[in-house]
């Protein structure tokens, strides 16, 4: 039984002291694949470097909504789009992300977030790559922008919307990313979404080092905790853990590798 971590951040500084020791043991801890999601150009480059080092790691490239304000200068923005396009030619780059809208923190102005979300979706469409979408306190606008883009492949990372919107995303060709929050005591909405959508539309993810699942909440997250997320999904859906592991791994392979 092996797992596919569809969203991780192993370039994060919290892994600096033990990154190699941790990652080198992933296959023996039942982790078959990891997609390292980017936040900016630096982490895009570092994700590619990790993918070069470890055969089971793949990379996404992109600029997170927290960081898009630094692209506000047109010359810098054009340069970043060219860099992302060049990076996407690497054989282990499998997606553009994470990109999207974050109206909770608003580290970047909303109009700048919308502009660069749209531009990076255009790039993904040109490159025929899936997108990894971050959406916080911007559910309807995120959905409307994706629908308007015409894109039909990607994953809504750390999904926090309604069951109906999840089904609408699935109808558009997207997967729903389920992470450690589904194990939290107050996870009513996440549990409903898992219950209401088909397993073949779900990807599991850690978002490590963040969102550590119960019973390890409060510790640094990593991909070896995927089994707790998958076990909760199996419990909600009343099916074997082995089936959840297999189907979600197949889903990840279909989205990122086919």
- Tell me the average confidence (pLDDT) per consecutive run of 10 residues in the chain, 258 residues long: 98 98 97 98 97 98 93 76 96 98 93 96 98 98 98 98 98 98 95 98 98 97 98 98 98 97
Long-range interactions of 210-215: CB distance < 8 A, separation 24+: 210/9, 211/158, 211/179, 211/180, 211/181, 212/180, 213/179, 213/180, 213/182, 213/183, 214/180, 214/183, 214/184, 214/185
Separation CA 179–CA 204 (nearest Å): 6
Whole-number pLDDT of residue 78? 84
Whole-number pLDDT of residue 73? 67
Whole-number pLDDT of residue 219? 97
Separation CA 78–CA 58 (nearest Å): 25
List the structure tokens of 81.
Answer: 């789009």
Whole-number pLDDT of residue 70? 78
Computed from CA positions of residues 241, 209, 194, 2, in that sequence, does the dihedral angle turn out positive or negative? negative
From 190, 207, 200, select the one nearest 255 (Cα to Cα): 200
pLDDT in tens, 40-56: 999 999 999 999 999 99
Helix (H) or strand (E) holding 118: helix 110-127
pLDDT in tens, 52-89: 999 999 999 999 999 998 787 667 778 899 999 999 99
Domain annotation for the chain: domains and CATH numbers = 3-257 (3.20.20.140)
From 84, 87, 91, 139, select the one nearest 116 (Cα to Cα): 84
In this structure, what DSSP letter does residue 208 have?
Answer: B
- pTM recorded for the entire structure: 0.97
Contacts of 207 (CB under 8 A, 6+ apart): 7, 8, 9, 157, 158, 179, 180, 221
Whole-number pLDDT of residue 71? 80
Computed from CA positions of residues 113, 114, 117, 123, in that sequence, does the dihedral angle turn out positive or negative? negative
Alpha-carbon Rg for the chain in angstroms: 17
């Amino acid at each position: 039984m092996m797992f596919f971590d569809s969203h991780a951040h192993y370039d994060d500084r919290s892994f600096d002291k033990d990154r190699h020791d941790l990652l080198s043991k992933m296959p023996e801890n039942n982790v078959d694949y990891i997609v390292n999601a980017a936040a900016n150009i630096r982490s895009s480059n570092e994700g590619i470097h990790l993918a070069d080092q470890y055969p089971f790691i793949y990379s996404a490239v992109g600029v997170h909504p927290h960081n898009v304000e630094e692209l506000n200068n047109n010359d810098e923005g054009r340069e970043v789009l060219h860099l992302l396009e060049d990076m996407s030619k690497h054989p282990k780059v499998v997606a553009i992300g994470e990109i999207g809208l974050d109206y909770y923190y608003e580290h970047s102005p909303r109009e700048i977030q919308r502009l660069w979300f749209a531009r990076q979706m255009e790039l993904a469409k040109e490159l025929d790559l899936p997108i990894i979408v971050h959406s916080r306190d911007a559910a309807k606008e995120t959905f409307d922008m994706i629908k308007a883009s015409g894109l039909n492949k990607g994953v809504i990372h750390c999904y926090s919307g309604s069951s109906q919107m999840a089904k609408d995303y699935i109808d558009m060709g997207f997967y729903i990313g389920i992470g450690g929050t589904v194990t939290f005591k107050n996870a009513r909405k996440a549990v409903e979404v898992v219950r209401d959508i088909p397993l073949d539309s779900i990807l599991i993810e850690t978002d490590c080092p963040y969102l550590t699942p119960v019973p390890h909440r409060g510790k640094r997250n990593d991909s070896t905790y995927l089994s707790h997320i998958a076990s909760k999904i199996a419990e909600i859906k009343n099916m074997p853990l082995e089936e959840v592991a297999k189907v979600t791994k197949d889903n990840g392979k279909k989205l990122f590798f086919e």
